[in-house]
């Protein structure tokens, strides 16, 4: 048998793009769902992070991957490292739920708990990455990560043909996914299709930056959508907004709407997703698209592409707790 060239192996799945009957009926136009929640580690993050990790190991000779994330980036880094047969250290703050640490260990990662909050854990990870043969895996702010995320759009184009969406809906935290989506859309000639970038109140650094006309750093993340929890959006994301190719529309919903969307999506499609993904789905469930049209910011829509980013840090117990917290 011919030997497999590891450099050409993808560690993410080609996920389906499906028409949603319940969401289409609710919206009044056809809604297509890109089901990134079906990725092995639970979210889209495996696309960009595995792309970075492959280059680090196969091209730069990295011997250990280091990441500070108890969320989807950490899961993706641990999974990619397992596939690459490369040691991986994930640094977590003390506030991380124990079930997250268990999941990371199941992927073969070494888990180190350091500091009370993410910033402390991240600082320690950066120090570890200075050791010879180690590389630091940033959750979102790396060109290789953005390049890896472009693949989600290439798949959508192929799966939707001959349909061309009138709008693409996603969420934005630090901006890694949005950067990849925009780069992919430019490369296939979709740069005239508007992108609606969803955030929740309390994790809305992108929207706040747009309002201020400059990058804004949030004092804290007060939203339940912790995976949108970057204090400052990537400077590349803000630059992409200023270019407006594709056009970007920023929209913010309260946590209650994001959690409500998670609950309704569980009923409609029998999938559990995090509130970060709920923010995206709230564009449909909370009529954000119609609001943007009413404000004259968005034209007519006959079909929409929704990137269901997923999320590994959700359980039925958590979802029911949020339901109770918001009286839903």
Q: What is the pLDDT of residues 260-269, one digit of tens each?
A: 999 999 999 9
Do the Cβ atoms of 38 and 17 come closer than 8 Å? no
Confidence class for position 301, pLDDT limits 50, 70, 90: very high
- Give the pLDDT confidence score for residue 302 in this predicted structure: 98
Tell me if residue 61 falls in helix, strand or coil: coil
Torsion 25-288-159-270 (CA) sign: negative
Do the Cβ atoms of 199 and 172 come closer than 8 Å? yes
Q: Taking Cα atoms as reference points, which of 121, 122, 104 lies closest to residue 113?
A: 121
Give dist(CA 37, CA 262) in Å, integer.
Answer: 12
- Mean pLDDT (whole number) for 164-171: 98
Q: What is the pTM of this model?
A: 0.95
> Which token pair is 3?
């030997």
Percentage of the chain with pLDDT > 90? 84
Give dist(CA 86, CA 279) in Å, integer.
Answer: 34
Q: HEC states along 152-200?
A: HHHHHHHHHCCCCCCEEEEECCCCHHHHHHHHHHHHCCCCCCCEEEEEE
Phi (first) and psi of residue 140, to 5 degrees: -150, -20
How do strand 167-171 and strand 195-200 relate by DSSP bridges?
parallel
Phi (first) and psi of residue 303, to 5 degrees: -155, 150
Give 207-226 pLDDT, tens digit per residue.
Answer: 999 999 999 999 888 899 87
Whole-Å CA distances, 29 to 25, 26, 198, 305, 314: 7, 8, 19, 11, 29
Confidence class for position 6, pLDDT limits 50, 70, 90: low
- Mean pLDDT (whole number) for 21-50: 97
């Amino acid at each position: 048998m011919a030997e497999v060239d590891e450099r050409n192996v993808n560690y993410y799945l080609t996920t389906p793009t499906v028409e949603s009957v319940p969401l289409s009926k609710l919206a009044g136009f056809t809604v297509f769902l890109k089901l990134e929640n079906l990725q092995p580690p639970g979210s889209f993050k495996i696309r960009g992070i595995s792309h970075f990790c492959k280059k680090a190991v196969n091209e730069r000779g990295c011997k250990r991957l280091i990441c500070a994330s108890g969320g989807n980036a950490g899961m993706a880094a641990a999974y990619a490292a397992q596939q690459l047969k490369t040691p991986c250290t994930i640094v977590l703050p003390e506030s991380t739920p124990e079930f997250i640490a268990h999941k990371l260990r199941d992927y073969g990662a070494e888990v180190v708990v350091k500091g009370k909050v993410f910033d402390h854990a991240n600082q320690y990870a950066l120090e570890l990455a200075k050791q010879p043969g180690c590389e630091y895996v940033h959750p979102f702010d790396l060109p290789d990560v953005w390049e890896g995320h472009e693949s989600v759009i290439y798949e959508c184009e192929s799966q939707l043909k001959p349909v061309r969406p009138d709008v693409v809906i996603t969420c934005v935290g630090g901006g890694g996914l949005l950067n990849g989506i925009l780069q992919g859309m430019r490369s296939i000639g979709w740069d005239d299709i508007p992108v609606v970038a969803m955030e929740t109140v309390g994790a809305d650094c992108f929207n706040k930056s747009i309002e201020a006309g400059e990058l804004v750093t949030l004092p804290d993340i007060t939203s339940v959508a912790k995976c949108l929890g970057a204090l400052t959006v990537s400077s590349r994301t803000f630059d992409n907004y200023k270019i407006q190719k594709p056009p970007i529309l920023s929209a913010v919903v309260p946590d209650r709407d994001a959690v409500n969307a998670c609950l309704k999506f569980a009923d409609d499609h029998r999938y559990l997703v995090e509130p970060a993904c709920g923010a995206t789905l709230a564009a449909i469930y909370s009529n954000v698209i119609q609001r943007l049209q009413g404000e004259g910011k968005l034209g007519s829509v006959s079909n929409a592409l929704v990137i269901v980013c997923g999320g590994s840090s959700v359980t039925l117990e958590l979802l029911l707790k949020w339901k109770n917290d918001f009286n839903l």
